[in-house]
Structure 1
């Protein structure tokens, strides 16, 4: 359920970022896109810790599962983005990051290796704004795999991976690792149901209050002023202070939800699993659909028909890509 809500929040946020909403709608609708990504980070650490312990007994199994999951979606969406953005540029549309389109032999492998946030790099593929978070997660997968599966001197490989990631990835690593810690904590600890429900409600209320007052801009200025690496751009890590505060609320919410005893969710588990299976594809492909819409379809900002049509297009593309990504994931995993 968290994946569904977080993916929807990211799509909604990008309707504002790409100015599909009009100005009045942007002012009225809370932008929770970054908060949703932080929820994804914490959830990812939890799920990876679970899968490593319960489903992937060897490093080979783990590496195969993680690569299959990533590349089954990344490969087709990335190639599609380069093709469609290249077509748009040929038709006279201004494309951000167009320099990448002129050197696909360099930038496609660059993005497939998730190098876009290492050290001084701040690079995302054309029309794939959400890709930045994969440049973090892929390296966190690599680091976790080295530490969890390797022993002795070989485990020192994890230290080398950590050093290679650079300061931006170091900053957000605690958010991802919080999910790992939560997975291990909840195996031996329990929260009374009444307390868990109260905590779950309280953390949601605090997140709503956070969204209402939105102190992120001020915290970003503080983070930028304290950044010690003047020659390196902070890029997507400049929201780190806000990310930590949101991460604490998300972590507490997850811990409480585990013991709150919500009986309705198991009854809808088939629907939830079906929708959750589409969230990664939706997360990565929706900005491609939005950018294509902007490039090729004349529209009036904020018009109800435009919002409905684009929302349906986003969902339709994710649904159409899903069978392809599932087949590709099965092939890559085996």
Structure 2
């Protein structure tokens, strides 16, 4: 074993493939859970995927923190580059998803009004506006449109980006630190309670690897972290049910911390190198699929409900449930590819916005 203390490390192809595979598995578990919950709420598969789907969000938080640590360490982005990249990524998918959700609500009311009884809570226009501003989960508020409840986690992630960015790129002035503290006060206790999970991912990359294990031992450590995660999910009972007020989606934060720590430990041991290297073809193929998991996560629930509105599964539901799973995968994938082509519009918008804010700040 040799010492490795550099804070700038690059991922090997196998490590990149592992991270992307985690993203794919997490997104698919959420999709499968919501499809089964919609058509077969009491099915064994639905019960099995119930807690896994929430664990998938914990996975996303850990991965998000890890990726931010990687990009801020190796790309040396400025504060402007950081915020433009983060906001463009979120809004290029979330804004169309909110519009799709509103269209879905209108069509369901028109063609399948009985479904709106199940998804009618938080359906007012104010909830769409609040969700577009990523304020639907601040403090003890929980107001994502029920037709697209996965938007709750994007509110959490948005504030992690903001809080981290304001702190990481702060100037050594009291006013700069006050901005970061102000963002924490706006986000509120729910979001802050789950932030350690995001930070576990961040520090899994940032903490230097004191010793580099051989490949076999490295992947043994990663495998142990996966096993520990499954043990925690299935054998450690949360102190509170998910959705319990006032913490709502943060109500299981203690067990979520443990699960997040287990996942992060696995990421810490991922093989890295001192020099950037090209990913192999297998890793590149997995990356292309993984890049579609974000649109899948944000678009899948309204697509599921629209599928039920226009393509009923009245007979042999358990045998035909694969149809909406495959259908929604294809639809969200095509929409994701389409939306990615216009991401530059969001980059341009936020670039101009930040320039305008800076100019106004100089004038004042």
Please classify the TM superposition score into its range, dividing by the shorter chain length. 0.7 to 0.9
Offset from partner CA, 1:13-35 (integer Å, 9 cap, x none): 22343344662433566741111
Query: Is 1:107 the equivalent of 2:107?
Result: no
Which residue number in structure 1 is paired with residue 256 of structure 2?
243
Q: Give the aligned partner of residue 53 of structure 2.
A: 33
User: Are the aligned partners of 1:41 and 1:176 in contact in 2 as well (CA < 8 Å)?
Assistant: yes
Q: CA deviation at 1:161?
A: 0.8
Q: In 1, Cα distance between the equivalents of 2:98 and 2:331?
A: 14
Deviations 1:185-206 (Å, cap 9, x if unpaired)? 1466534434322222222222
- Tell me the SS of whatever aligns to 2:136: coil
| Residue equivalent to 2:223 | 201
Partner of 2:152: 132
2:35 to 6, 9, 15: 15
Answering whether residue 114 of structure 2 is matched by residue 93 of structure 1, we say yes
User: Closer, same or farther in 2 for the Cα pair 1:189/1:168, shift >3 Å?
Assistant: farther
**Inter-CA distance 159–135: structure 2 relative to 1 (3 Å threshold):** same
User: Unaligned regions of 5+ residues in structure 2, if any?
Assistant: 1-20, 274-278, 349-364
Whether the 8 Å CA contact 2:32–2:325 is kept in 1: the answer is no
Corresponding residue number in structure 2 for 1:190: 212
Bigger helix share = 1
Shift, 1:55, TM fit: 3.2
Match of 2:270 among 247, 257, 264: 257
Mapped partners of 1:109, 1:130: distance in 2: 16
Could you state the TM-score of these two structures normalised by the residue count of structure 2?
A: 0.79
- Who is 1:299 aligned against? 313
The Cα shift of 1:291 comes to 1.7
What's the offset of the Cα at 1:56?
5.6
What's the secondary structure of 1:219's corresponding residue? coil
Q: Alpha carbon RMSD of aligned pairs, Å?
A: 2.7
The CA deviation string for residues 152-211 of structure 1, in whole angstroms up to 9 with x for no partner, is: 221321111112211101110100011111121146653443432222222222233334
Residue aligning to 1:81: 101
* Corresponding position: 1:319 with 2:333: yes
1:171 aligns with 2:160: no
